[in-house]
Amino acid sequence: MFEFDRSRHRLAYLFALSMGSILILFAFTVYQRQVKEQMREFDTQVYSQAKKIAALTTYQKQKQSWQIDTDNVSLSNPEIPNESKIVYIRWYDYQKNLLQFIGKCPPRKSSLTVGWQTLQYKCNHNGHTKQKNLRKFTLPLKYEQSLVGYLQVAVSLEPLRDSLSRSRLFFALGVPITLGFTGIAGWILGGLAMQPIKRSYEQLQRFTADASHELRAPVAAILSNAQVGLLSPPGNNQQPRQRLQNIVTQSKYMGALIANLLFLARHQGKLNPQDLMKVDILKLSDSLANKYESLAREKSLLFKLDAPQTSPEIYGDRDLLQQAIGNLLDNAIKYTHAEGKVALKLEVKPRRILITVQDTGIGIPPSDLPYIFDRFYRVDKARTRQTGGFGLGLAIAQQIIQAHNGKIRVESELGVGTTFQICLPIRN
């Protein structure tokens, strides 16, 4: 089981690694998109503020220059949207000389670049100097298509940085937590994914052990009889003959067991559609009824066939279907006491045919019902040895029915009887 645990760890690790990579890439993409979107909204607000301020500014031409009146402009003016924190507002003439300002005092003349700029500035806060980021927008002012001057609005980027910091904190905490849950989910899913493989491995081990056990006894018996026969006195012809008969019996037993094992190995999975032929299930049921009615009579059992007058044909392998139904009838007759009843019933339903084998035998304990289709499983091993069973009949029947895209189910009550029902699809 160490290999399964190691495979489960590997599956969980690969699942967490792949999902974690996708999650990190997704978080990075979302964060970058969020940065761009918030920056776009921030610039839109600053641009709206600049346009409002420009609309409140008045211009008067005096000789060869323009006089800019900023008396109507104030940061407390309700007409100026102040969602962002304005650090300063500056007005320049067309020669880029400073005329007016509100907020932080700038140099008398500075280089102007029309459009957007991001810059840093130092400010004193409680005696400490801090660097903060600004988003600056410079708008040319025009009057009747003539350049009057420039308006410069600088807004603090701190609100945007705070919002992005909260987003980074969310991703920094959310991604590891999600990765942790992903790892747990990978471990659980890895365990679920390994269950069918683990069951198949356990079934293979059990099958190998059971097959070895079943073959060990007849091989030992053959060897024992051969050795005893070789040690018999030269004039004794009776003992070697008796030993040879025992060897023949054990060889037949082994031959039947090997034939069943080969059958299970060769008929795995679905049947080849090209090998399927039309099968008259009604004629097949009549043939089986004739055979098993005489066997039931020998055991003083009442055999009954309940079938309709007509039945649609199905596609399948006639010999395999006969073997599957025959295995169920064999068990019904074996485990039903004298004066009991065995019934074979055929029902035609929409798009399917139901074949039921019912007996009034000893029944199957509820604890054994989930395992009766397992190979080599016996409800009563002592009794099945007496009747010559291998514990493969029901496994073969189930494999045949599943190969025909059908289903088989069982209902049983201890001391009352057992009912097996086969459901086969009708293909148009």
What range defines the domain where residue 360 resides? 273-425
Residues making up the chain, counted from first to last: 428
**Which element (helix H / strand E) includes 293?**
helix 281-298
Q: Say if 363 falls within a structural domain.
A: yes
Same domain, 16 and 139: yes
Q: Say if 219 falls within a structural domain.
A: no
- Domain closes at, from 144, 166, 188: 166
d(CA 133, CA 235): 118
pLDDT at position 409, please?
92
Same domain, 151 and 16: yes
Count the neighbouring beta carbons within 10 Å of the beta carbon of residue 190: 22
Q: Say if 309 falls within a structural domain.
A: yes
Identity (one letter) of the amino acid at 345? K
Q: How far from chain centre, in Å, is Cα 426?
A: 31
- Domain closes at, from 166, 193, 222: 166
d(CA 207, CA 413): 28
* Torsion angle of the four alpha carbons 99, 100, 101, 105, in this order, in degrees rounded to the nearest 10: 60
d(CA 424, CA 428): 13
Residues of the chain where predicted confidence (pLDDT) is lower than 50 = 382-387
230 token code pair: 């070789």
Contacts 24+ apart (CB under 8 A), 165-173: 167/31, 167/34, 168/31, 171/27, 171/30, 171/31
Split into its structural domains, the chain has a count of 2
Single out the residue of 355, 343, 373, 357 nearest to residue 426, CA to CA. 355
Cβ–Cβ < 8 Å for 376, 355: no
d(CA 287, CA 277): 18
Q: Say if 42 falls within a structural domain.
A: yes
Same domain, 10 and 159: yes
Dihedral-angle region of residue 96 (phi above 0 means left; psi in -120 to 50 means alpha; beta otherwise): left
How does 226-262 read in b/e, with b if 16+ C-beta sit within 10 Å? eeebeeeeeeeeeebeebeebbeebeebbeebeebbe
Specify the DSSP class assigned to residue 97: B
Same domain, 162 and 287: no
- What pTM does this model have? 0.50
Give the sign of the dihedral formed by CA 37, CA 39, CA 44, CA 49.
Answer: positive
pLDDT at position 105, please?
61
Q: Say if 214 falls within a structural domain.
A: no
- Domain closes at, from 117, 151, 166: 166
**Per-residue pLDDT tens for 7-18?**
777 878 888 888
3-class secondary structure, 377: coil
Single out the residue of 372, 375, 370 nearest to residue 261, CA to CA. 375
- β-pairing, 302-306 with 341-349? parallel
3-class secondary structure, 401: helix
Same domain, 153 and 282: no
pLDDT at position 422, please?
93
CATH of the domain at 9: 3.30.450
Identity (one letter) of the amino acid at 74? S
CATH of the domain at 383: 3.30.565.10
Which residues are within 8 A (CB) of 283 and not within 5 positions of it... i.e. 6 or more apart?
A: none
Cβ–Cβ < 8 Å for 311, 280: yes
Q: Say if 258 falls within a structural domain.
A: no
